[in-house]
Amino acid sequence: MPKPILEVRDLTVEYDTGDRPVVAVDAVDLDVHAGEFVGVVGESGCGKSTLLFAIAQLLSSPAAITGGSVRFQGQNLVAMSETKLAALRWRDFSVVMQSAMNALNPVKSIGGQFKDAIMAHDEPVTDDRPAEVLRLVGIDPIHLKSYPHQLSGGMRQRAMIAMALLFTPDLIIMDEPTSALDVVAQRSLMVQIKDLQQKLGFAVVFVTHDMSLVSHFSDRLVVMYAGQVVELGATRAVFDNPAHPYSKGLLDAFPSIRGPKVPLTGIPGSPPNLAHPPSGCRFHPRCPVAFEDCPKIEPELYQVGSVQARCLLHAPGQTHAADPIREATS
Ligand SMILES: Nc1ncnc2c1ncn2[C@@H]1O[C@H](COP(=O)(O)OP(=O)(O)OP(=O)(O)O)[C@@H](O)[C@H]1O
């Protein structure tokens, strides 16, 4: 298998709150290969956005990377100067955030903003590239003259994606790019992102808390809970047979569009305060299949078939029921 284009190792991010630090990302490892679509899921407050900002080196105080590395195409972004990072951003990797309204400059036309991004790089692009990328995302190039407020929410998100494509980067990092849109616009934008990804071959790291979105669009899934990766594997494998009780809970909290009608159960309680995470397995206070070791022993990521899961039920030598996750929660 070729080397990943993105290798995140032991990445740790803390928010300095003046009291105990909030460890929002705790020793995360993640590989992303060329052309892959990786979905990052988890409830609000599990560290998904912080992880993305840390990968893109866009964290600001009080958050800081306190350990680990982010190697992109072999270079460690964590140790890189702001000048070098600015040269890589947009050209080699770009970032699309939740709300284009906040990311776009309200007093500059879309074309003006594209021009600024082009001017900031040495990379030559053709004069008609701004029009070309707008067409790619289904917007008439006439809107290069438009200001952000003149576009609908969906068009603004598309314009942001067009900007992210100006230099055809190898990686696009997306933090809930469709969350501000209605369901229909959300779906059509996702289809468009997937089409573009397949056509142009860039990799995507995509954060969402919508399991149904990732089920249709991502190749691989990262499930985060309380700052840690708790399950990692091919999307299909995780959906068909979740190895972590948290993943199972997330899946049970979302309606299946095509599957049989089953009552939605959800997960009682909420994620912990990351200044004081629970001992042992962080999910144990909410876990329907917790047993006596769970508050005492911190699980590692164990190999479970083709996926990895941070659950003691899968620790080598564990003698609990063969498939307790399925039995106890279904
Ligand atoms: N400025 C801050 N100071 C202290 N803690 C913070 C700050 N910002 C975020 N946190 C904490 O960091 C943790 C991770 O937050 P983050 O926004 O990355 O989660 P998330 O999974 O992306 O949530 P959402 O889906 O709501 O965006 C949370 O526990 C949050 O309380």
Whichever domain contains 247, its CATH number is 3.40.50.300
CA distances from 39 to 189, 236, 330 (A): 16, 12, 25
Asked whether residue 288 is domain-assigned, the answer is no
Task: Give me 269's structure tokens.
Answer: 């309680």
What total number of domains does the chain contain?
Answer: 2
Q: Are residues 61 and 203 in the same domain?
A: yes
Pocket probe mutation, ligand 1, options 12, 15, 52, max atoms within 8 Å of Cβ: 15
What pLDDT shows up at residue 330?
Answer: 46
Q: Are residues 183 and 85 in the same domain?
A: yes
Q: Are residues 176 and 72 in the same domain?
A: yes
How far is it, in rounded angstroms, from Cα 87 to Cα 280?
42
Which amino acid residue places its CA nearest to atom 29 of ligand 1? 45
- Three-point CA angle 68, 33, 15, nearest 5°: 30
Pocket probe mutation, ligand 1, options 28, 46, 102, max atoms within 8 Å of Cβ: 46
Residue 112 near ligand 1, beta carbon < 6 Å = no
Q: Are residues 32 and 59 in the same domain?
A: yes
Q: Tell whether the torsion through CA atoms of 215, 235, 312 and 305 is positive or negative.
A: positive
What pLDDT shows up at residue 329?
Answer: 46
What pLDDT shows up at residue 209?
Answer: 82
What pLDDT shows up at residue 323?
Answer: 52
Distance 273 CA to ligand 1 centre (A): 10
What pLDDT shows up at residue 3?
Answer: 86
**Residue 151 lies in domain:** 108-167
Which amino acid residue places its CA nearest to atom 24 of ligand 1? 44
Picking from 183, 175, 108, the residue whose alpha carbon sits closest to that of residue 148 is: 108
Distance 223 CA to ligand 1 centre (A): 16
Residue numbers of the chain with a pLDDT score lower than 70: 1, 100-101, 255-265, 320-330
What pLDDT shows up at residue 101?
Answer: 65
Q: Are residues 210 and 187 in the same domain?
A: yes
